[in-house]
Amino acid sequence: MEKYKDDKVILTKEEYQSLLDINEKLADAEKRANAANKAKSDFLSSMSHEIRTPMNTVLGMNELIRMTLADPDIMIGEKIGRVIGYSNGIQHSGEMLLYVINDILDISRIESGKLEIRPGEYRMHKLLDDMIPLFRASAEGKNLFFETEIDTGLPGHVEGDDVRVRQIVTNIVNNAVKYTREGKVCLKISGRVSGDTVIYDMSVSDTGIGIKQENLEHLFDAFERVDSEETHYIEGTGLGLTIVKNLLDLMGGSIEVDSVYGEGTVFTVHIPQRMLSDEKIKDYTPDIGLSSKENKHHYYRGCKVLVVDDNQTNIKVATSFLERMKAAPESALSGREALELIRQKHYDLIFIDHMMPELSGVKVIKKIKSDPGSYALNKDTPFVVMTANAVVGAKEKYINEYGFDGYIAKPFRFAELDDVMSTYIQGEEYAEEPASGKGPMRGGPGGPPPGARGEIWDIDFESGIEVCGNAGTYNAVAETYLDIQEENVRKLAEGMNSEDWESYRLVVHALKSSSMTIGAKNFSGFSMTVESATNEIIDGSDKEKNLGYLRGSYNSYMAAYSAVCENLRRHLASVKHA
Ligand code: ADP
């Protein structure tokens, strides 16, 4: 048939229909492309927010540390307390940043089809034992209950990628905590055996904000956050569940979600793992929580370690960690300097940065391997590359291609460096004492029954040690707290007698935060109430009422202060004698 007539095109019905279909497809594709584009733009803006927020804390808190240290009006004990508080903030923000960056790395692996599962032998009870105390702490930090219900008759000795299993469970539990304001989060583990495989069914339920039915289907799309009034102000990148879903697909597992908007959500993952023996999870008892390696460290007394990096800050971090391990670190700021040292001295272990100007870590290793005679003193010394290059396959490349013995990714934590050290050097194991619950220590003047809670002199030593980072620092801070007791008591008495509320306030303000640092939470709360009364007197509001309160509470405040000090003193005496 003639297709053209005058200026018009003549189509058959079928041709016309197929044109309509094509048009519809194009419109659809355009819609999807726009939506994907919007999702990526939203993602970029939320990502920059996710990075800026912790960055802001890091810079702000660091500035506060510098100001606090330089301020002549702040007493030394108070300085230590404040600096520790700020430094905890920096630590937390740094960890958040690392999560975001690791998620981005994982997403880029997914997009390039390079996300991998690396199976190895592991024990489920060990994994749970490591994770559960952390989950409990984060839930309790938000005043939520954390419960577990674990079928301990399930096989526990299996083959799988424990790092990724941990990532999956952690992600879901963290979400449950994040999107729940009150109530509880519960981790249930059941499962079944099929042939030589155990399928773990892990469900995490919460009493949180819930998810609307229409949003459930988009949950696992990359870059998608379910945007609603409730979630808008909660930090997140929308990457977590996408990564979880992809990991589960690679493991042959699956994920389901069930949610009632406004009431709560249950995420359930099914993870098949190959059984390696008949061993059961039963070794696991929920309350041994703190046996995790979090508190286990090693000393490597006198161990000679060389750290090579062109960045001073990196050297500072590594050598300070090593000093805490009682090793004897030395450093070199360039490949050339390192070669010189390695030629002249023996080291037990050498950490080398990869990217250095002039002579990179890889070139250093090459030179040493190609001229063993010159570096004979270190012919058996392990070389560990210390690098920020954490992409897939990097570790294998450094070890198999370049000839390093080990690998550690920057930034690393104390425990990670300790792990690498312990691979090569026999360390001396020690655990940092969680000092709480040690019988008499909970007691105070007048001897309340052991374990009694809620007394004004109670000290939560465990939380104090956590705030201070370790028991040694805690004890030092506690000593300072006691050192200034006399001076504080005098100042409080003077302030009260002369009605000098400004100086009274200074002391209670300092006591509020330093008491929190040592774990004397109730007394810190008392100090806060007293402080706000002084604030109001100084501002001139409700003066009579607040004056009445300050005078009326004076004796009990002083008694409480001395009771807290007494309790702390006994604690210090007992740890010294222990
Ligand atoms: P993020 O939490 O970083 O936004 P995720 O991929 O982990 O990203 O989660 C995607 C979205 O799913 C979240 O933004 C949130 O809206 C919703 N969500 C996830 N878990 C829960 C939960 N337990 N309760 C309510 N909403 C949830």
Instruction: Report pLDDT for 145.
Output: 87
Domain 120-292 coded CATH 3.40.470.10: no
- 195-213 per-position pLDDT tens digit: 999 999 999 999 999 999 8
CB 388 within 8 A of CB 353: no
Residue with CA closest to ligand 1 atom 16: 226
Choice among 243-257, 328-342, 530-544 with the minimum mean pLDDT: 530-544
Please tell me the distance between residue 43's alpha carbon and the centre of ligand 1 in angstroms: 14
Atom of ligand 1 lying closest to residue 103 CA: 3
Please tell me the distance between residue 85's alpha carbon and the centre of ligand 1 in angstroms: 29
- 118-155 per-position pLDDT tens digit: 999 999 998 998 888 889 888 887 788 888 999 989 99
CB 332 within 8 A of CB 341: yes
Please tell me the distance between residue 225's alpha carbon and the centre of ligand 1 in angstroms: 7
Atom of ligand 1 lying closest to residue 209 CA: 25
Residue with CA closest to ligand 1 atom 9: 238
Please tell me the distance between residue 235's alpha carbon and the centre of ligand 1 in angstroms: 10
Contacts of 430 (CB under 8 A, 6+ apart): 296, 297, 298, 299
- The CATH class of the 294-431 domain is alpha beta
The three state secondary structure string of 64-131 is HHHHHHHCCCCCHHHHHHHHHHHHHHHHHHHHHHHHHHHHHHHHHHHHCCCCCCCCEEEEHHHHHHHH
Q: Where are the domains of the chain?
A: 15-112, 120-292, 294-431, 454-576
User: Hey, which of 179, 181, 245 would you mutate to test ligand 1's pocket, going by the most ligand atoms within 8 Å of its Cβ?
Assistant: 179
Please tell me the distance between residue 326's alpha carbon and the centre of ligand 1 in angstroms: 43
Give the end-to-end CA distance of the chain in Å, rounded to a whole number: 103
Residue with CA closest to ligand 1 atom 20: 175
User: Hey, which of 50, 225, 233 would you mutate to test ligand 1's pocket, going by the most ligand atoms within 8 Å of its Cβ?
Assistant: 225
Angle (nearest 5°) at CA 482 between 553 and 436? 90
Q: What CATH code is assigned to 15-112?
A: 1.10.287.130
φ and ψ at 180, to 5 degrees?
Answer: -125, 130
Pocket of ligand 1 (CB under 6 A): 175-176, 179, 206, 208-211, 219, 225-226, 231, 236-242, 265
Contacts of 211 (CB under 8 A, 6+ apart): 219, 226, 257, 259, 261, 265
Cis peptide preceding 272, ω within 30 of 0:
no
CB 546 within 8 A of CB 537: yes
Please tell me the distance between residue 178's alpha carbon and the centre of ligand 1 in angstroms: 8
Per-residue pLDDT band for 10 (boundaries 50, 70, 90) equals confident
Q: Bigger pLDDT: 270 or 522?
A: 270
Choice among 138-152, 231-245, 359-373, 552-566 with the minimum mean pLDDT: 231-245
Instruction: Report pLDDT for 392.
Output: 67
Mean pLDDT of the chain: 85
Q: Bigger pLDDT: 315 or 393?
A: 315
- How buried is residue 6: exposed, middle or buried, by Cβ count under 10 Å (0-12/13-18/19+)? exposed
Please tell me the distance between residue 385's alpha carbon and the centre of ligand 1 in angstroms: 37
State the DSSP code for 155.
B
Please tell me the distance between residue 238's alpha carbon and the centre of ligand 1 in angstroms: 7
Q: Record the tokens describing residue 221, joined without a space.
A: 């799309």
Per-residue pLDDT band for 235 (boundaries 50, 70, 90) equals low
Alpha-carbon span 548 to 528, nearest angstrom: 17
Residue with CA closest to ligand 1 atom 15: 226
Q: Record the tokens describing residue 302, joined without a space.
A: 């006198």
Residue with CA closest to ligand 1 atom 7: 240
Residue with CA closest to ligand 1 atom 21: 175
Which helix (H) or strand (E) is 193 found in, with range?
strand 184-194
Domain 454-576 coded CATH 1.20.1070: no
Instruction: Report pLDDT for 179.
Output: 93
CB 353 within 8 A of CB 409: no
User: Hey, which of 172, 209, 241, 268 would you mutate to test ligand 1's pocket, going by the most ligand atoms within 8 Å of its Cβ?
Assistant: 241
User: Hey, which of 185, 186, 211, 213 would you mutate to test ligand 1's pocket, going by the most ligand atoms within 8 Å of its Cβ?
Assistant: 211
- 492-505 per-position pLDDT tens digit: 999 999 999 988 98
Per-residue pLDDT band for 434 (boundaries 50, 70, 90) equals very low
- 526-563 per-position pLDDT tens digit: 888 888 889 888 888 778 888 888 888 888 898 889 88
The DSSP secondary structure of 219-281, one letter per residue, reads TTSTT-----TTTTTS---S-HHHHHHHHHHHHT-EEEEEEETTTEEEEEEEEEEEE-SS-BG
How distant, in Å, are the alpha carbons of 299, 305, 314, 385, 429 from that of 321? 11, 12, 11, 17, 16
